[in-house]
Amino acid sequence: MAATLRTHFSRDEVLEQDIYNPAPTASLESFEDRAKNALSLLFQDSRENEDRKRLFVDAGVQHLQTLYSLFPMPCTETQNKRAEAILMEPIYPASVLQSESRSWLQAMRRRLAAKKSIRNPYYVEICRDFSYEIFSVIAKIVGRLNGFVKPFCSHGNNNKAEIISFTSVRLVNELFVLLSKFTSETVASYFKRDLSGSRKGHSAAVIVSDAKDFVFTYKKRPGKLVIGFSYGEWNVNGFPQHTF
């Protein structure tokens, strides 16, 4: 093949095809056509076998397409406008909080069966990177719901953190029902679980009381939401294993 290939003009003539600088609206398909035409010039006046020519051109086009895909095309004005339009679309807090609250419930249920910490057993903290704008929606919801008042629910705020605290498991359940769109029974099922393994026959459940509150803490500087709560564990005979 090399003996009959017109290599003396291949570089110049291939570059003249401008296959690496297509128009902004050019598609990958049009690039393939231009690459195929440019590579075919290498065999102009060649006596090479047609099948071998075709194999060479096809393989060359595949390699050039791979290289072409590595070089990003500049965004056109139309594409920029479409992207800006997407950025202007509203994000509804309800959809964000529904998925988030469901993930919180799943994490709570998992942690009920997790290994207890030595430093603070029977206490769980779930930490999430979270937007303050979305957290403020939760605070506004709590402030407008009937019955979400002291001493069952309290709200505090300073320069470092904002806290929503509950001393009633019923209110915690109601809040999660509103956020997750689950039924009250489904939400309650995440607040308890039967254990397995070495603790088979034991059960664990979230505890919310005057002494053990359920707390949403938003740490403003790092932008993190910490959900903290206590839980208890009971053995097969119903005797508590927790000491508080």
Phi, psi of 153, rounded to the nearest 5 degrees: -150, 135
> What is the CB neighbour count within 10 angstroms for residue 216?
23
CA distances to 62, 127, 176, 225, 242 from 103, rounded to whole Å, are 44, 12, 11, 13, 26
pLDDT at position 29 is: 54
**Could you tell me the residue ranges of all domains in the chain?**
93-191+213-229
- Cβ distance 171 to 150 under 8 Å? no
Residues near 161 by Cβ (< 8 Å), separated by ≥ 6? Answer: 217, 218, 219, 220
pLDDT at position 90 is: 83
pLDDT at position 20 is: 47
CA distances to 33, 54, 73 from 60, rounded to whole Å, are 12, 10, 21
pLDDT at position 14 is: 46
pLDDT at position 243 is: 86
pLDDT at position 1 is: 43
Residues near 167 by Cβ (< 8 Å), separated by ≥ 6? Answer: 151, 152, 153, 208, 209, 210, 213, 214
Query: Per-residue pLDDT for the chain (244 aa), expressed as one digit of tens each?
Result: 444 444 444 545 544 555 445 444 444 457 788 888 888 887 776 777 787 878 888 888 888 888 877 776 677 778 788 888 888 888 899 999 999 999 999 999 999 999 888 888 999 999 999 999 999 999 999 999 999 999 999 999 999 999 999 999 999 999 999 999 999 999 999 999 999 999 999 999 999 999 999 999 999 999 999 999 999 999 999 999 998 8
